[in-house]
């Protein structure tokens, strides 16, 4: 949809998750046929470029007042449809030997601002979040998950999910039961108010396994590297199961 890192190579702006969500709702037979063609072709492009992981699908449940940054990137306002199409997306990429990253865990749909520029604060109850927004992440199985730069006030009123030990441990690991690698959303986004080095450290301390940096500024990339733990041979060996899908 509207967010693509390869938009200079191919224009996929028309084929948002909302586009396919509406197609599924109106014509399931054609949806299954066309969605497979879409993912097969995206996979071919990724392989030609040399990429074996795609940061998709977005499993955020669209809400009435969802900010447009989520908007058409969501499959649906129905968590069951989001879960069903999310699992299909993961499976189709897996068949193409492309890894997937479910995002933005535990759920970004209730945010009323764009975390690229501002800090979203969600005040809905924990019960509501578990029953709706967190649901697709519990149902869909992927090796990677990307965190939300969102404060869930009823769970942790101080830290965004990316830097919240409570959310990463109690919600993502224990409640959602995600046991793969947790990747932070872009550590240079404006929702995070501290320096790159502090934001990097906080993400790792909270429980992120990897930190993502996207804006291409070399000085910031060096800061992320300096404040990241060393990847040991032991860790590489422990994650060798990823070879199953690549």
Q: Please say if 185 is a catalytic residue.
A: yes
Q: 101, 194, 105, 94: which is closest to 150 by C-alpha? A: 105
Task: Compute CA 213 distance to the chain's CA centroid, rounded to the nearest angstrom.
Answer: 14
- CA dihedral of 210, 135, 22, 184, whole degrees rounded to 10: -10
Cα distances (Å, whole numbers) of residue 209 to 24, 57, 111: 34, 19, 24
- Listed in sequence order, the residues at least 6 apart from 55 whose beta carbon sits closer than 8 Å to its beta carbon are 101, 103, 146
Is residue 152 within a helix (H) or strand (E), and if so which, with residue range?
strand 151-152
Catalytic residue among 60, 133, 185, 186: 185
The one-character DSSP state at 158 is S
Catalytic residue among 116, 133, 213, 244: 116
CA–CA distance, 226 with 233 (Å, rounded to integer): 19
CA–CA distance, 104 with 126 (Å, rounded to integer): 17
> Which residues are the active-site residues?
116, 185
């Amino acid at each position: 949809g509207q967010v693509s890192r390869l938009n200079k190579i191919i224009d996929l702006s028309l084929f948002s998750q909302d586009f396919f969500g509406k197609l599924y709702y109106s014509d399931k037979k054609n949806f299954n046929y066309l969605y497979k063609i879409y993912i097969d072709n995206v996979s071919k492009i990724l392989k030609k470029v040399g990429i074996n992981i795609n940061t998709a699908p977005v499993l955020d449940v669209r809400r009435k007042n969802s900010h447009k940054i989520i908007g058409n990137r969501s499959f649906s306002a129905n968590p069951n449809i989001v879960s069903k199409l999310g699992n299909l997306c993961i499976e189709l990429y897996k068949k193409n030997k492309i890894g997937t990253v479910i995002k933005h865990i535990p759920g970004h749909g209730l945010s009323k601002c764009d975390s690229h520029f501002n800090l979203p604060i969600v005040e809905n109850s924990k019960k509501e979040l578990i029953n709706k927004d967190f649901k697709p992440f519990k149902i869909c199985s992927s090796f990677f998950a990307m965190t939300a730069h969102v404060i869930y006030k009823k769970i942790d009123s101080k830290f965004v999910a990316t830097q919240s030990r409570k959310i990463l441990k109690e919600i993502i690991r224990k409640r959602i039961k995600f046991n793969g690698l947790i990747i932070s959303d872009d550590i240079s986004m404006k929702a995070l108010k501290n320096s790159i080095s502090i934001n990097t450290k906080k993400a790792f301390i909270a429980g992120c396994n990897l930190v993502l940096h996207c804006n291409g500024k070399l000085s910031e990339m060096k800061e992320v590297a300096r404040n990241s733990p060393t990847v040991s041979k032991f860790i590489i060996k422990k994650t060798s199961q990823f070879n199953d899908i690549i």
